[in-house]
Chain A
Amino acid sequence: MNPTIIRLTARALLGRRRVLLLLPMPIVLIGLTLLGVSSEDEYVTPSDWGPLVFSNLGLAVILPLTALIVGSSVLGLEIDDGTITHLITKPLPRSEIILSKLLVAWLVTTGATALPLAVAAVIAGSGTLAVGLVVGTALGALAYSALFLALSVMAKRPVAVGLIYIVLWENLLVSFVDGARVFSIRQHATTIADAIGDTPLISSTLSVPTALIMVSVFVVAGTVGATRRLRSFALTGEAN
């Protein structure tokens, strides 16, 4: 880890307008929760809106999209605008660069997703669910960040590839092919949140050990892959 890289990355990330993209989603999440809780219709129970808000919106949309925006930016923006040369022409181990970037992506994503989800869970009246969501989201955010950070160094269009993973793999393929869920970070996060939260509002599909092992696999593979790629990072662009 390198404190200078961490500080510069956080400033670059939080100082841009792009970060405002992260605001609407938590607001919608908390708004929907308030709407559900305040509903006076006796036939509307938390089991009607809970899965929708926590699972379908929180873990399935807000978490991966936030992680994608943040994870593809921490290093990707520098690659896009060319300032990456300042970073790679320093005598730093490449792992130090990647780990520092990963830390920032993870902290920002967790802050922007776990916090509103915990608030929503507390509004819904469940402290344990809040804890479960925070832990599940934090681990999911770590795996997603590692994946999208790696994509930003390896792929030409990291955001497009990331969206394909979220939309096609995690949403479409998982519902048709059973084995696909093992490689879905959304399922890992859901499983861990469910195991701790212990509520019918979210339902998991994997075993906890599988989820934990797969999160570590994503984190290690993403970090190692990104580091190796950065080690032989060739500057492209105008060749004159």
Chain B
Amino acid sequence: MNTVELAGVSRWYGNVVAVNDVTLSIGPGLTGLLGPNGAGKTTVLHLMAGLLAPSQGKVVIGGEPAWANPALYRKLGLVTERESVPGFLTAWEFVLASAKLHKLPDPTAAARAALDVVDLRDAQDRRISTYSKGMRQRSRVAAALVHDPDVLLLDEPFNGMDPRQRMQMMQLLDRMAEEGRTIVFSSHILEEVEQLSGTVQVIVAGRLAASGDYRHIRRLMTTRPHVFTIASSDDRLLATALMGEPSVSGVSLAEAGLQVHTSDYGAFTRALAKLAKARDIRLTTILPSDESLEKVFSYLVTT
């Protein structure tokens, strides 16, 4: 009963298409919404959370429409990316107020449990304005969890967290997913979600570019073609040697040195140094030239 479904959903702002014909179905468990900045992840999450009307298509949560349906929030929790918390409240007041606004039978117990989950009980009586970024984030997670929702949406929940906090948050989300909840979170950093045991939906330029098991997508990303710029003491000699490598798919001479195309990042980087040493060539520059996230993600669109 807690699936998140988008059917042919588009959302545009004037002439700008933010989300383009996305169809997906997310069931219980942990799902990452990956994509470079500006890809439309926040828009997708806001559509799921009923904070935006789809320009086209349908967003359905557990069989109910997401848009203009306040009753939905009984089973849905949202943590937005914007760091917006009423700083004049303490975490306890903030989470308790959320519990009361949900009209829970025992708001005090619910607030206490939610603050326990995010490990914020020790600091709960301090004003939120005195908190670090990670603590604020946790207070917002607590407020979003206080009514024990079946579906939890988090927009860039790991932003501004240190590695330890990130680990804790991942463990928390994993635990909640194991309890049968549907957890969807967005992130623009693939490495960030290495602990992830679930599925990912990759969004690039408003479109669903890839979807499926995290490890599969991860593999696609590490074996994608790379371009390196390499300068050395003897570029021509190095070029002839490189062409003999199976991991190299092309070499060209340029002003700055060699442009080397490789189809296997790992094998190439391991082979390069040995190869240069065997021919007594000194490497002066090795620059990966297409490491922008946009390129990494858009590679997925074509596979």
Asked if A4 meets B53 with Cβ closer than 8 Å, knowing A238-B42, A240-B38, the reply is no
Shortest Cβ distance from residue B294 to the other chain A in the assembled complex, whole angstroms = 13
- A12: which B residues are within 8 A, CB to CB? 86, 88
B225 to chain A, nearest CB (A): 27
The smallest C-beta distance from A85 to any residue of chain B, in angstroms, reads: 5
Question: How many A residues, CB 8 Å from partner?
Answer: 29
Residue B73 interfacial (CB < 8 Å) = yes
Interface size on B, residues (CB 8 A): 42
One digit per residue, 1 when the CB lies within 8 angstroms of any chain B CB and 0 when it does not, for chain A 1-24 equals 010110010011001000000000
A-B contacts besides A8-B86, A239-B43, 17 pairs, CB < 8 Å: A2-B101, A82-B82, A83-B86, A88-B70, A89-B73, A89-B144, A90-B98, A91-B71, A91-B73, A92-B70, A93-B70, A232-B67, A235-B46, A235-B51, A239-B16, A240-B40, A240-B42
**A219-240 interface mask toward B, CB cutoff 8 Å, 1 = contact, 0 = none?**
0000000000001111101111
A42 at the interface (CB under 8 A from B): no
Which of A2, A87, A92: most chain B Cβ within 10 A?
A: A92
B85 interfacial contact with A, CB 8 Å: yes
- Check if B71 sits within 8 Å of A4, measured CB to CB: no
Can you name 5 A-B pairs with beta carbons within 8 Å?
A5-B101, A86-B143, A234-B51, A234-B52, A239-B18
Interface residues of A in 196-240 (CB under 8 A from B): 231-235, 237-240
Give per-residue flags for A31-43: 1 if the beta carbon is below 8 A from chain B beta carbons, else 0.
0000000000000
A178 at the B interface (CB under 8 A)? no
The closest CB in chain A to the CB of B73 belongs to: A91
A239 partner residues in chain B, CB cutoff 8 A? 13, 16, 18, 40, 42-43
The residues in B between 75 and 126 inclusive whose CB is less than 8 angstroms from any CB of A are 76-78, 80-82, 84-86, 88-89, 97-98, 100-103
B interface residues, Cβ below 8 angstroms from A: 13, 16, 18, 37-43, 46, 49-53, 67-68, 70-74, 76-78, 80-82, 84-86, 88-89, 97-98, 100-103, 143-144
For residue A15, give the distance in angstroms from its CB to the closest CB of chain B. 5
Report the Cα distance A17→B81, complex, angstroms.
27
Enumerate chain A residues within 8 angstroms of B72, measured Cβ to Cβ.
Answer: 91
> What residues of chain A lie closer than 8 Å to B103, measured between beta carbons?
91
CA distance A92 to B53 in the complex (A): 19
In the complex, number of A-B residue pairs with CB atoms less than 8 Å apart: 85
Residues A108-143 near B (CB distance < 8 A): none
Task: Point out the residues of chain B lying under 8 angstroms from A90, CB to CB.
Answer: 70, 73, 98, 101-102
Given A12-B86, A234-B52, A235-B51, residue A85 in contact with residue B43 (CB < 8 A): no
A119 vs chain B, min Cβ distance (A): 31
Q: How far is the CB of A51 from chain B (nearest CB, A)?
A: 42
| A89 partner residues in chain B, CB cutoff 8 A | 49-51, 73, 76-78, 144
Chain A residues with CB under 8 A of B46: 235
A81 touches B84 (CB 8 A): yes
Indicate if the CB atoms of B97 and A231 lie closer than 8 Å: no
Asked whether A237 and B82 contact (CB < 8 A) given A85-B51, A93-B70, the answer is yes
Assembled-state Cα–Cα distance A11/B41 (Å): 34
- Name the residue on A nearest B140 (C-beta): A86
> A12-B88, A82-B82, A91-B70 known; A240 and B49 CB under 8 Å?
no
Kindly state the separation between the CA atoms of A84 and B81 in the bound complex, as whole angstroms.
13
Q: Which of A88, A92, A231 contacts B51 (CB 8 A)?
A: A88
How many angstroms between the C-alpha atoms of A19 and B46 in the bound complex? 33
Q: Which chain B residues lie closer than 8 Å to A238 at the CB level?
A: 42, 81-82
B97 touching A8 by the CB < 8 A rule?
Answer: yes
Report the separation of the CA atoms of residues A239 and B55 in the bound assembly, to the nearest whole angstrom.
Answer: 14
- Residues of B within 8 Å of A233, CB to CB, are 51
Contact of B68 among A11, A81, A232 (CB under 8 A): A232
* B68–A82 CB distance below 8 A: no
- CA of A8 to CA of B68, assembled, Å: 24
Find out whether the CB atom of A85 lies under 8 angstroms from the CB atom of B80: yes
What is the CB-to-nearest-CB distance from A25 to chain B, in angstroms, rounded to a whole number?
Answer: 25
Residues of A contacting B16 with CB < 8 Å? 239
Residue in chain A with minimal CB distance to B18: A239
